Structure 1
Amino acid sequence: MPPLALEASEILRRSEQGLCRPFLIRDTQGEIYVVKGVDGVGKSALVSELLCAELGSRLGLPIPPYGLMNIPSALTNFTTIDGASELEGGPAFASKLVGNATSLIYSQITQVPAEVKQRVLVFDKWVRNGDRRLTEKGGNVNLLWEPSSQLVVIDHNVTFEIDGDDAECLINHVFSDEKEKFDDMLIQSEHRAALDSALGAWDTIIDFLPEEWLYRDLMDEDSLVPPTLTERFELLERFQDGDFWRMT
């Protein structure tokens, strides 16, 4: 199922949370989305967001509904909200606002099922996401918790660090307590099969990406925005190497 095709109707406000401070926008159907624009976080970050939303959803991660949002210039030109020009530059990435959810805190970790924690952990290593840290002293977790005891996985604009380090992204990971479980070959094989299945949909997934996000200049097919799709795919392929599954 492709990402939702969304049309903005009202820019409500800018979030006070997160480094990029995304915008809350109401769409033409009355739903509210957390939105990041091209001129705000950049094209590479939006590619990462959509790829992770697609791959994560195929892995069964609890990712909110998401889509590509068109934001009419009239909304950004005439709003009084500071920084609205960051929503320009092409389609924006929109993630549906999860009502009544709050950031996951350390004491709630034990309420998350072990298999979910393992899947988030291996996913973050796979896409090289070092932005899911949490200890008793706090951190930046990018996970939400609903009153109904449901984990929500969000925010992947800093993934796909091609020159990054796998071990580094797992330091103080919110679900580090699950790392030793991957020594179990049965658990490892279940996750390996899930990654293989998700990556098998790569050609379908990349067709969802707007061309505006992939090129610095739409008139120059050689002006690819780094990391390229080829580089991203090669990074994901490393799950086939046995070394990838060494979590400790």
Structure 2
Amino acid sequence: MPHPRIVEAAEISHRSSQGTLRPFFVRDTQGDMFVVKGVNGAGRKALIAELVCAELGYRCGLPVADYALMTFPEGMLEFTTLEGADELAGGLAFASRVAPYCRELAYEQLEKVPTDLQQRVLLFDIWVSNEDRFLTDQGGNVNLLVDEDGGLVVIDHNLAFDPLSNMDSFDLHVFSSQRQALRDLEVQARHSEALDTALAAWDSIIGLVPEEWVYWDPDDPTTEVQPTLEDLHTWLQRLHEPTFWRDI
């Protein structure tokens, strides 16, 4: 995943019927389709979480969906007939590219996901406090896709860094069966090294976050969105504390 590119919207196709935010499907000027969340809809905190988690995930070896930052031509949002399109306003939007032929991971496909990848997804979600990935035989909100080659695609981190997150919530995680395995010291060492490598790139990662997401008032550095980027970094450093692994 290269540094985020800037893409321009050409057509707002439709709005999703799923999820709390109900993001928009937007085609860019190059013909690629994206699932898009805007500042006025998702909010700055959610967009920061999306970008930071996408970059951390990529750097620790997760198959995170490609993303871009999207702009909208003058007048497009004002004159579209699609209800709620004003939620895409407020500055650069977060756009997750839709890969061809992707479909949501089904419960019957869980056993096909490699064990090591299941562990990495679960650990990553615990690390970034993302509880929004559950699935049972009755359904759920898995936020995982399967591409045309059968590979996993990880999406949707707008609810990460939840200050109210607790370990009990991960009993419902789609890969909760791997929690016991993550208590093995050899398994911990393998995954910890990958996450630590990602965290080492923190300065580079936050350099990619648009300032208009970070501050309510770009001219006033005291208006930083809460939790601040420093708060997020402090939270992620739990990785180096024995209690982090003990609580898993």
- Distance in 1, matches of 2:182 and 2:65, equals 27
Measured at CA, do residues 127 and 138 of structure 1 come closer, stay the same or move farther in structure 2, by a change above 3 Å? same
Is it true that 1:225 corresponds to 2:225 in the alignment? yes
Tell whether the 8 Å contact from 2:131 to 2:165 is kept in structure 1 after alignment.
no
What are the Cα deviations for residues 200-220 of structure 1, in whole angstroms up to 9, with x where unaligned? Answer: 000000010111101111121
- Distance in 2, matches of 1:12 and 1:74, equals 16
1:100 match: 101
Is it true that 1:31 corresponds to 2:32 in the alignment? yes
SS class of match (1:6): strand
Q: How does 1:50-129 map to 2 (within 5 A)?
A: 50-129=51-130
SS class of match (1:124): helix
Coordinate RMSD, CA, aligned: 1.3
2:174 match: 174
- Distance in 1, matches of 2:199 and 2:229, equals 13
- Distance in 1, matches of 2:97 and 2:140, equals 23
1:235 match: 235
SS class of match (2:134): coil
Deviates more, 1:154-163 or 1:144-153: 144-153
Q: Give the deviation of 1:48 after TM superposition.
A: 0.2
Q: How does 1:156-175 map to 2 (within 5 A)?
A: 156-165=157-166, 167-175=167-175
What are the Cα deviations for residues 126-147 of structure 1, in whole angstroms up to 9, with x where unaligned? Answer: 0000101112222211111234
* Structure 1 residue runs of 4 or more that deviate by more than 4 Å after TM superposition: none
Q: Give the deviation of 1:174 after TM superposition.
A: 0.3
Is it true that 1:194 corresponds to 2:198 in the alignment? no
- Distance in 1, matches of 2:195 and 2:169, equals 18
Amino acid at match of 1:180: Q
Q: How many residues align?
A: 247
- Distance in 1, matches of 2:78 and 2:141, equals 33
- Distance in 2, matches of 1:245 and 1:38, equals 35
1:204 match: 204
- Distance in 1, matches of 2:152 and 2:140, equals 17
Q: Give the deviation of 1:247 after TM superposition.
A: 5.6
Deviates more, 1:107-116 or 1:136-145: 136-145
Amino acid at match of 1:73: E
Q: Give the deviation of 1:64 after TM superposition.
A: 1.5
Normalising to structure 2: TM-score of the pair? 0.96
Structure 1 residue runs without a partner (length 5+):
none
- Distance in 1, matches of 2:231 and 2:169, equals 18
- Distance in 1, matches of 2:55 and 2:47, equals 12
- Distance in 1, matches of 2:189 and 2:118, equals 16
Q: Percent identical across equivalent pairs?
A: 49
Amino acid at match of 2:226: P
Measured at CA, do residues 55 and 244 of structure 1 come closer, stay the same or move farther in structure 2, by a change above 3 Å? same
- Distance in 2, matches of 1:154 and 1:132, equals 10
- Distance in 2, matches of 1:235 and 1:138, equals 31
Tell whether the 8 Å contact from 2:214 to 2:225 is kept in structure 1 after alignment.
yes
Amino acid at match of 1:2: H
Deviates more, 1:210-219 or 1:83-92: 210-219
- Distance in 2, matches of 1:209 and 1:72, equals 21
- Distance in 1, matches of 2:218 and 2:148, equals 45
- Distance in 1, matches of 2:210 and 2:96, equals 16
Structure 2 residue runs without a partner (length 5+):
none
Amino acid at match of 1:131: D
Tell whether the 8 Å contact from 2:100 to 2:148 is kept in structure 1 after alignment.
no
